[in-house]
Structure formats: C-alpha cells, structure tokens
Amino acid sequence: MSDMMNDEPLLRVSEITKLYGNRIGCQNVDFELWPGEVLAVVGESGSGKSTLLNCLSTRLEPTSGMIEYRMRDGVFRNLYKLTEAERRLLMRTDWGFVHQNPADGLRLAVSAGANVGERLMAVGQRHYGQIRDTATDWLERVEIAADRIDDNPRAFSGGMRQRLQIARNLVTHPRLIFMDEPTGGLDVSVQARLLDMLRRLVADLGLAVIIVTHDLAVARLLSHRIVVMRHGNVIETGLTDQVLDDPREPYTQLLVSSILQV
C-alpha cells in the first residue's frame, strides 16, 4: 500500500480520558502518530499505558476525548463512530495487534500456515496455492523455516510463536501495529533476536507502531518517539534518544537511572 499522504498523521489522539468509576485509567492524552513512526509508551505497571493501548486499539471506549484514524481512502474517521463491521475489518486488514502472550493472538488448533493465511482468507482470497505461497514467504521473513508451515504452533518455542504471531499480523500489509510488551515473556537472548527482527521489519515495511513496554531498552531500540506515563498522565514526551539521554522530569530520570543500574 503506497501511502500518498505522508504530510498528514495516521492517528490523531485528542484529550483521551478513561475513568473507572472515579479512578483514573488515563487522562488528557494527546498525540499524533505519523506513517512509519514508532511510538513507545513506557511506564510502570499501573501507569495507565495498557488502558491507553486498549482505548487506541478500540478495545476499550474512552470516557471522553476523540481518536481519529486516517483510513486507506485518506479520510479521517472517529474510531468509536465506526460500525462494528468497519471496526473489525480495520482490525484485520490495516491494523495488527501483537499480544504479549502469543497464545492470545494465534489459533493454536491450526497449522502455522493457516494462522498466517487466515487474514487473507478473511478478505476473500480463495486460491489455496497462492495463500500458501504468501504464508511461506511471511514465515521466512520472520525466520521460521518454510518446512514448518504445516506444523502446529503448539510445537513451536516461545520465540517462534511470537514471530508467527507477527507474521500473521503483517500478511495484509497493515499500516499500524499495536504491540503489548511483545518481548515480555521471552528469555533475554530470544528477546534480542526478536527485537532485531522487529526493527528490520518495521523499517522495511514502513510500519507505524505503538508499542507499550515497561522496558526502556526495548523502547530505545525500536522507537523514534517516547511517551512516559505515570498515574494515568503523560508526564514527558519527545524523541526517544533525547528523553532517555537527557530526561527532564525527575520521575523519568528515576526510570532511566534504574535501567542503567540493571
């Protein structure tokens, strides 16, 4: 999908607030996301980053505020004004969602090939051979050997499952991917390989990504811009290198220093 309108943002987030009763999930969040841009949302658990991710990905309706997405036809749409059919189509074509636990994003009852091919079939592809060729190609792009195509993901390691989940999301050439702690459950050595692969794919495909992580090293490696959250509020935002090298807020300084100590 060529994006002819790179002079406009892909996502516009205005004054998003989510309250749980009188408890704050997140409040007054404002930002724009541009095509091909990787935005990391960092913070400790309870900072509101997961609430924000759920609001952005249409999983949790905000209490107030507006989220607009520039659809493939170039028109901005309020995400919470989409019909259920439009919303579901968006989620399985122009968007992806990578869960921390691959089991939440895969169908463990069917083969790796069927997992990758599902979105293609959902949008009407009806040629088995072509679906299989595309699935093979995507498996290779996430470094899964083509001869594993008929294997069940239950037989895969954690790292392979996570790469399969990524391939399954990318097969329809989405423009925006949400990631929720995508390296969270993995061993350190496996994490490094996955991060390398993610960085390469994101650059090659020009993907916009919103990645939620508590791990500043992940944010540093993958993201262009960073949003630091605490108690439901965005306390600092800016270019990732600038924020991490020279944090203004005391809380961010604390976060950065604690990672440096590890």
The region of 108-116, 161-169, 170-178, 217-225 touching another protein under the rule CB under 8 A is: 108-116
Asked if 111 is part of the footprint of another protein (rule: CB under 8 A), the reply reads yes
Instruction: Report how many residues bind another protein under the rule CB under 8 A.
Output: 23
Question: How many whole angstroms from its chain centre is CA 81?
Answer: 22
| Residues 147, 125: Cα–Cα separation, whole Å | 22
Per CB under 8 A, 84 contacts another protein:
yes
* CA–CA separation, 70 and 89 (whole Å): 14
Asked if 113 touches another protein (CB under 8 A), the answer is yes
212: its two tokens: 């939620």
Rounded to a whole number of angstroms, the distance between the first and last alpha carbons of the chain is 41
User: What dihedral do alpha carbons 66, 71, 73, 75 form, nearest 10°?
Assistant: 10
126 binds another protein (CB under 8 A): yes
Is the distance from CB of 23 to CB of 82 less than 8 angstroms? no
Contact flag: residue 219 with another protein (CB under 8 A): no
Q: What is the distance between the alpha carbons of residues 105 and 95, in angstroms, rounded to a whole number?
A: 13
Q: Which stretch binds another protein (CB under 8 A): 13-21, 120-128, 235-243, 254-262?
A: 120-128
The verdict on 203 binding another protein (CB under 8 A) reads: no
Q: Does 88 bind another protein (CB under 8 A)?
A: yes
Q: With contact defined as beta carbons under 8 Å apart, do 230 and 47 qualify?
A: yes
| Tokens 């993610």 sit on residue | 198
- Taking the least distance from each CB to another protein, the nearer of 31 and 97 is 97
* Rounded CA separation 66/249 (Å): 27
Tell me: does residue 93 bind another protein (CB under 8 A): no
Answer yes or no whether residue 131 interacts with another protein by CB under 8 A: yes
The residue behind tokens 């759920």 is 54
From the CB of 114, what's the least distance to another protein, in Å?
A: 5
**CB-nearer residue toward another protein: 12 or 132:** 132
CA–CA distance, 145 with 138 (Å, rounded to integer)? 10
Min CB(226)–another protein separation in Å: 36
Write the binding mask 133 to 152 for another protein: x where contact by CB under 8 A, - elsewhere.
----------------xx--
Residue 73 near another protein by CB under 8 A = no
Q: Does 204 bind another protein (CB under 8 A)?
A: no
Decide: is 59 part of the binding site for another protein (CB under 8 A).
no
Closest CA to 43 of 242, 248, 226, 261: 226
Give the footprint of another protein on this chain (CB under 8 A): 84-85, 88, 107, 109-111, 113-114, 117-119, 121-123, 126-129, 131-132, 149-150
